[in-house]
Amino acid sequence: MKAWISLRFYIVTLLVITANMAIFAQISGDVSQTGRVFEGPSRAIDTRGAMCYYGDGSEFVIASIMESGKIKEFSRLTLEAAPLKIMVEAGYAYLACGQAGLAVIDITIPKSPLLVGSLSLDKPVNFLTVMNNHVYLSTGDGGIKVVSMNEPDVPSVVATVPAMDFIDDVVGQDNIFYASDGFGRIRIFDASQPDSPIELSTEFFNTRPSLLALKGNTLFAIDRFNLSIIDIADPHTPNLYIRLPHNADAAAVSVQENTLYLSDVNKQLHVFDVSTPINPTVQEIIELDDNAVALHSNGKFLFAAQENRNMLTYAISEPGVTAFRSEIETGGYASDIHIIDDRLILTGARTRVMDISVPANPVEIGRNYVSSRINALSEDGNHLFIADNDDTLRVFNINSPDDPKPVGYYEGPGQVAFAEVNDHILFLARPYVVRLLDVHDPMTPLEISTYSTGVPFALTAIGVHEETMYLGFSNGDIRVVDISDPTQPQDRGRYRDFGSEPVDFAFDNDLIYAAYLDRGLTIFRQGFGPIPWANIPSLDETKGVAVKGQLVYMADGEAGLRIMEVKSPEQIREAASFKSGSSASRLAVSGDRVFLGDELAGVFILQTDFTLQSQAANKATSANTFDLKPAYPNPFNPATTIRFELTSSQRIDISVYNVLGQEVRTIAAGTFESGIHQMQWHGLDNTGSRVSSGIYFLRVQSNHQVTTQRLMLLK
């Protein structure tokens, strides 16, 4: 059988540790990008005349709009991250690129776009609007940044409008801009002097408006439950025309002349006649194949970018008639990554096979479409098992990865969420049921048993290790199931609710690594009950994990890839990291390569370079390290002393976390001089209240090192 690696369970060692290394050795290393596979949905569109500008994953595309509505591509420009909003003005395209900030592109020559400027901020940029040579950037709880474009190659922030809560969308016209700011609030500003905006008024709502659109003297505000139409003829005193309820969360909005287009998460496109704002009427509802996450209309055509499929074009020149015209292929979310020899299999709305024998230049050598979105995928080195949205399991022979051949199928497994193959047994997990199929003969998969969870909580993860199946649930439980006899799975125990749902598993020897979305990584010892062996808090959202030996790889959302060295519960430190630009979600490791899937920016092919040094050598060569001493006493009551030694003056942050990964107490945050420092934790949280007895985790972080210790507070 070919050598292969599964995303979740089988990770090849990145480092061989020789026996003669010092006992206090620690791993240090670096991660560098060597290649990239561009994948990801289109989430941003703008048009000017006969030109269309849109994002395709993390690529910026310029195309012409033909009379038929079809799109003819002119050029592409690779970006650091996927554009979330595009606005074109006076020969420049301004792109909101999330964590990567603002990108400024010169588009005067459509066949040769040029990135001329960029601006990185400490908060992600998700929305923007452009007025009078200034760009207004929405940065969530960081407020609105007003950026001067007098020199496009050097954008500069000239003003900041603080957020009252969390700013979602921002739109503007005629020196006035409008910002949706948290729960129930739209704020209106006069930007005649961009470096000193003046707040004119605030409009309050019952729920949080997240999307805004403008048409003349009318503002359209969309929240979770309502479409609100507001008269803004006098921005000092906005007046609500009408509030229309809708049945699903809005995904995107666009308004053109007297028509408003609104897409929702129920895969519907609603078309409203708003010629009379006080009495809008629904003209039609169009069923889509997927959620439209971006809409843009130019008076002649409507462009709808679907979340996991392609971008659609509709003719809209005839009032009340929305006619489909064309479809543009764009990427979808990279839902899974698998490595077989020198082939990368990337799945989402489609399956792509990439030749990665030259990592710096991955080449697509084949692809296979299924009839609907891929929900789950697994492989055994010779066959690919794909569960799609049509309740069908499809089996492909991948002995020639360049050209996968369909060889079998199994109808009716239902809406499969996860799939794993182990020793010729395929596990198909639905929200409340796991089906076990014998795939010795992949042409005719045979169901051998069905395992019902028997609880009202949906499955969120599945992992198979040797003769045990691990199931994660939405209430935070992990159930352990004996599958030594796959015809009769038997419950063996569970790790109880830890306050967050597990989303991925990895295994190494007797350790189980469970990734929790909003808590981080918890490590359990098999057979030792539900007490965690160690915990690594997340910096954003931990969505994937891989492990081998002392190295643990975390796909940690906007924090990117984090590679942790784990020697013991008391000795955990960050050895290396890499930010992918948007949100790291999946990963696979092969040799010294890490394949990191980003939800919007495709797959990054990374080269890891690790060395092993003695702790004494590290202290001598690194100017930014610290040595955390064991806390004493530990276990303790009522207080424990924390001691650490610095080799140089540097910033240190010291916090205590509970087993849920939630910060309990900030003990210190600031610059410390070289030498030995000590302080105490008296078992209090940030409000000054005494915490309950149990296990806690001490986290000490500098710019280049993270170390944790386990603490136990006694009654």
d(CA 273, CA 38): 38
Give the pLDDT of residue 24. Answer: 37
d(CA 199, CA 216): 20
Residues 6+ apart with CB under 8 A from 541: 517, 518, 556, 557, 558, 583
Three-point CA angle 604, 605, 607, nearest 5°? 130
- 680-685: average pLDDT: 92
* CB contact at 8 A, 608 and 576: yes
In 36-123, alpha helices (H)? none
d(CA 62, CA 57): 14
Fill in the amino acid letter for 417.
Answer: A
Which among 398, 359, 362 is positioned nearest to 378, based on CA atoms?
398
Residues 6+ apart with CB under 8 A from 127: 84, 85, 96, 137, 138, 168, 169, 170
Whole-number Cα distances in Å, 535 to 182, 697, 709, 711, 714: 33, 7, 9, 11, 19
CATH number at residue 255: 2.40.10.480
Average pLDDT, the chain: 81
d(CA 238, CA 189): 12
pLDDT greater at residue 525 or residue 643:
643
CA 287, distance to chain mean position in Å, is 27
Give the pLDDT of residue 34. Answer: 66
Q: Which residues of 66-97 are buried (b: 16+ CB within 10 A; e: fewer)?
A: eeebebeebeebebbbbbbbbbbbeebbbbbb
pLDDT per residue over 299-318, tens digit each? 888 888 887 667 888 888 77
Give the pLDDT of residue 389. Answer: 64
Fill in the amino acid letter for 403.
Answer: D
* CB contact at 8 A, 574 and 705: yes
d(CA 22, CA 144): 52
Tokens of 20: 């003669």
Residues 71, 77, 81, 85, Cα dihedral to 10°? -50
Residue 109 pLDDT exceeds 80: yes
What residues are paired with 175 via a beta bridge?
none
Same domain, 281 and 375: no
Sheet of 478-482, strands arranged across: 459-465, 468-473, 478-482, 490-495
Q: Which helix (H) or strand (E) holds 621?
A: helix 615-621
d(CA 498, CA 515): 12
CA 340, distance to chain mean position in Å, is 25
Same domain, 118 and 239: yes
pLDDT per residue over 120-129, tens digit each? 998 889 899 9
d(CA 580, CA 334): 13
CA 688, distance to chain mean position in Å, is 35
Q: Which of 551, 586, 614 is the endpoint of a domain?
A: 614
Q: Which of 614, 644, 674 is the endpoint of a domain?
A: 614
Same domain, 589 and 542: yes
Same domain, 342 and 477: yes
Give the pLDDT of residue 444. Answer: 84
Residue 112 pLDDT exceeds 50: yes
Give the pLDDT of residue 127. Answer: 93
Which among 52, 48, 99 is positioned nearest to 580, based on CA atoms?
99
Least confident of 6-10, 213-217, 409-413, 510-514: 6-10
- pTM for this predicted structure: 0.65
Percent of the chain having pLDDT more than 70? 84
Same domain, 93 and 216: yes
Checking phi first, is residue 132 left (phi over 0); if not, alpha (psi -120 to 50) or beta? left
d(CA 463, CA 621): 41
d(CA 178, CA 235): 10
DSSP 689: P
The CA R_g of the chain, rounded to the nearest whole Å, is: 27
What residues are paired with 604 via a beta bridge?
36, 596
pLDDT per residue over 314-360, tens digit each? 888 776 778 887 777 676 666 667 676 677 777 665 667 777 777 77
Residue with tokens 């970018």: 305
Give the pLDDT of residue 15. Answer: 26
Residue with tokens 């129920």: 266
Residue 88 binned pLDDT confidence (cut-offs 50, 70, 90): very high
pLDDT per residue over 366-414, tens digit each? 665 455 566 666 777 778 787 776 667 778 887 776 666 788 877 766 6
DSSP 329: -
Sheet of 239-245, strands arranged across: 209-215, 218-223, 226-231, 239-245
d(CA 219, CA 221): 6
d(CA 36, CA 345): 13
Which among 123, 49, 75 is positioned nearest to 558, based on CA atoms?
123
Whole-number Cα distances in Å, 417 to 323, 376, 406, 499: 34, 6, 21, 22
Residue 65 pLDDT exceeds 70: yes
pLDDT per residue over 16-53, tens digit each? 222 222 333 555 566 766 666 666 678 889 998 889 99
Tokens of 368: 């296979």
pLDDT per residue over 220-232, tens digit each? 998 877 888 999 9
Classify 453 as helix, strand or coil: coil
* CB contact at 8 A, 659 and 679: no
pLDDT per residue over 611-654, tens digit each? 544 443 344 334 457 888 888 888 898 999 999 988 888 889 89
DSSP 22: -
Same domain, 343 and 208: no
CA 25, distance to chain mean position in Å, is 34
Could you write out the three-class secondary structure of 541-583?
CCCEEEEECCEEEEECECCCEEEEEEEECCEEEEEEEECCCCC
Whether the link from the prior residue into 633 is cis, omega within 30° of 0, is yes
For residue 288, the enclosing domain spans 250-331
Same domain, 460 and 340: yes
Same domain, 376 and 464: yes
* First vs last C-alpha separation in the chain: 55
Percent of the chain having pLDDT more than 90? 26
* CB contact at 8 A, 603 and 590: no
pLDDT per residue over 261-297, tens digit each? 998 888 899 999 999 989 999 888 988 878 888 888 8
* CB contact at 8 A, 586 and 543: yes
Which among 434, 432, 436, 382 is positioned nearest to 408, based on CA atoms?
382
How would DSSP label each residue in 267-280?
SEEEEEE-SSTTS-
Whether the link from the prior residue into 635 is cis, omega within 30° of 0, is yes
Classify 510 as helix, strand or coil: coil
Same domain, 661 and 696: yes
CATH number at residue 668: 2.60.40.1930
- 471-485: average pLDDT: 90
d(CA 476, CA 455): 13
Same domain, 313 and 355: no
Classify 615 as helix, strand or coil: helix
Sheet of 71-78, strands arranged across: 45-48, 51-56, 59-65, 71-78
* CB contact at 8 A, 562 and 544: no
* CB contact at 8 A, 670 and 679: no
CATH number at residue 199: 2.130.10.10
d(CA 642, CA 239): 58
Tokens of 584: 């790291």
- 679-691: average pLDDT: 91
Q: Which of 553, 586, 614 is the endpoint of a domain?
A: 614
Same domain, 642 and 704: yes
d(CA 261, CA 255): 6
- Counting the structural domains of the chain, the total is 4
Same domain, 109 and 175: yes
Residue 148 pLDDT exceeds 90: yes
Residue 584 binned pLDDT confidence (cut-offs 50, 70, 90): confident
